[in-house]
Structure 1
Amino acid sequence: MRSAQLGGLTVARIGLGVMGMSAFYSGAGEDDAASIRTIHRALDLGVDHVDTAEAYGPFTNEELLGRALRGRRDAVVLATKFGFVSHTGRPEGALDSSPASVRAAVEGSLRRLGTDRIDLLYQHRVDPATPIEDTAGALAELVAQGKVRHIGLSEPGVETIRRAHAVHPVAAVQSEYSLWTRDPEAEVLPVLRELGIGLVPYSPLGHGFLTGTIRSESDYGPDDWRATNPRFTGENLRSNLVIADRVQAVAADVGATPAQVALAWLLSRGDDIAPIPGTRRIDRLEENLAAEDVTLAPEQVAALDTLAPPAGTRHDEAQMRLLGG
């Protein structure tokens, strides 16, 4: 597999997000053995960038990944995140990136993951109660101690990126980015390229929408977070089917699947972009990784570039307030 550059980190172009193995989607946590087999298959196929967070579960996703990586840890760029869980007594649901909480979070993540270092540690969301300089300073201390190799930010605004990077080099920013959500293109991506920071798109398949497998609200269970997401409900969902249909049309022309076309489009944006599609299934994993071999013609890229934005915000109101701080 070809590689991408995330600051000073070199990773395979396509990684693996393991969140959905434990949380938020229908069926999460029902078959950890199958999830571990999928992780092992990913490693066998050259995936070396695997992403989790303490908040997924919480904690159970890191534990799952730790079990999966026993005996194979050194082959992986291991990424996790802190900040949604307070370790200093802030109220439940409050963001906490205070230095004390960061240090406690890292100790817990190291224990659950069964490792002595985290290759890429992200602040999960910007904590408005803690100056980013304080958080970045705590992360710099952890780097000096060898507990963290590289630092990252998830869904930050451009000023936060600049301020953090001035304290300690930021290797990667993780943001939702796909044909379904192109928000980083306007401001964030240009700043990342100016500073030499990589972009890690999460949900590069639009939470499954771009695969064409979601046609109605009956295609996911009531325990699935999409059941209350503005883009996946009501008239918005019906309007957004046009996007899935357009991706499917390009896929038919290319002789690929819609998921492969969506990933190939992302890969065409630059070698500083390393998406982390998630799946619990080996067949879907293999399908996703084959996107590296899909070549889109200029007219096909142009057709995808001109897709209308989806109807509805990408998160509910409360989650939208946490973006871009």
Structure 2
Amino acid sequence: MFYLIALGFYPVMLALVIPIGLLLTGIVEKRQEVDKEVGVALAPLAGLAVVIAGISVLLHLGAPARALVPILTFLNILAVFYLLFGFRRRFHWPELKILLILAGLGLVAYAVLISPLLAGGQPGVLGYGVNNDPVFHAIIPEYIDANGYDFPASPNGGFAEAAVDKLVTQGYPDGWHQILLLAMRVFGLRAFFLFNFAEAFFAALLVPVAYIWLRKIGVSKLWAGGGGLVTGIGYTQLTYAFQGFAPQVAVTPFLYAGMFLFFEVIEERRRGLYVLLTALIIQAGLAIYSFTILLWIGIFLLCLVAYKT
């Protein structure tokens, strides 16, 4: 069962976000004439950004965590239906082939990232003896799953104190924890056992992001795919040395995707829905790691201004 969940985590979570992402990027492509290759490559991140925003809204409105999977499944069914009929002339085999290849490369990167767990034959958090931060990050979705966002004014130990300390006192963003909560509901396991799988899932999403950046500068599809794979597995050492960097790892694909889209907005003078897509991707980064993502995009903006002048 462990190996089944370990290897199934990436494709299952990807399947929960790709239809929504394809629908969103397809609408942007139709209105803005955006390169279809970029649209299908960014579909997983676009869908994940929508899911993060949607989970946050639902939970803050008081929806129980058990409702997340049925609601998300229903939305994906609607998205697939519309893609099959409303976009039957928009998505063709060449674009979908790119999506499947990038998803396959992402799965390879994911397998490399979780290989230490596979070798050990059991789930759990590696490296938490070095850094106890994962304990807090695993506790938060457990608390939200049981209590929602109803925080006691004066928590006295246990999960409540850890959750209040992170989310209320420190004002820590909760996008990472919401995806971990969704995974808990999908696979029926505690957050501790899914922690590494979720972290590797986000790291593997660097594959399509690196791919579109490399394609942007003229690299062939073959070498861009290889570069994306190398980028995706590049976090392996960091991931297992310091587990507390899970939100930092999770924000990375959104950071570089946001930079790419922002560059397109400036360089290609994109407007309208393309700007909204850019904002959605950046918003997901903010939900995972707060304003820090804006600092990096600001540095990128300065470099872009220097490049343009």
Question: TM class, shorter-chain normalised?
Answer: under 0.3
Larger fraction in helix: 2
TM-score, structure 1 normalization: 0.27
Task: Name whichever structure is richer in strand by fraction.
Answer: 1
The structure with higher relative contact order (CA 8 Å, sep 6+) is 2
* TM-score normalized by the length of structure 2: 0.28
